A = this chain, B = another copy of it.
Amino acid sequence: MVERFEVETRGQGLYPITDRVARIVDASGVAEGLCTVLIQHTSASLTIQENADPSARRDLAAWLDRLVPEGDPRFTHTAEGPDDMPSHIKAALTSTTLSIPVVRGALALGTWQGIYLWEHRRRPHRRRCVVHVGG
């Protein structure tokens, strides 16, 4: 089964999507199988990260911003703004697809794991994800 969903981002940051994916798994009726999420963009990405303390996600995003700063004079791909090329790099360093086993009809994530859509652009975007659930 394949479903789609969209996330309206409000600029840079990690947006929780575990519930969106979990509802699709639930609706699929698959008891044991595999759930795969793809984000259809190259300037936003996916990650599985700690779902408890938001300071971990803030520190993670701030660290990646320091690793890939805007305004690098060696960037040539600048037509879409100073945050565009860093966004492509951040997406390449994180994940575009994630696959999670399904057990007893639910995502087999660890207690502290959440799935996040990571917006790397400064401006709001409508981001599309595709979810496959197989038996």
Contacts and interface: CB of A to CB of B under 8 A. Distances in A.
B100 A38 contact: yes
Copies of this chain, count? 3
A126 B26 CA distance: 29
Interface of A is mostly: mixed
Given A49-B92, A60-B85, 18 more contacts: A1-B32, A34-B36, A38-B101, A40-B113, A42-B112, A49-B91, A58-B76, A59-B76, A62-B74, A63-B74, A63-B75, A63-B89, A95-B95, A97-B99, A101-B132, A110-B128, A134-B134, A134-B135
Q: Closest 7 A-B residue pairs measured CB to CB?
A: A40-B110, A101-B132, A55-B77, A48-B96, A56-B77, A108-B130, A42-B50
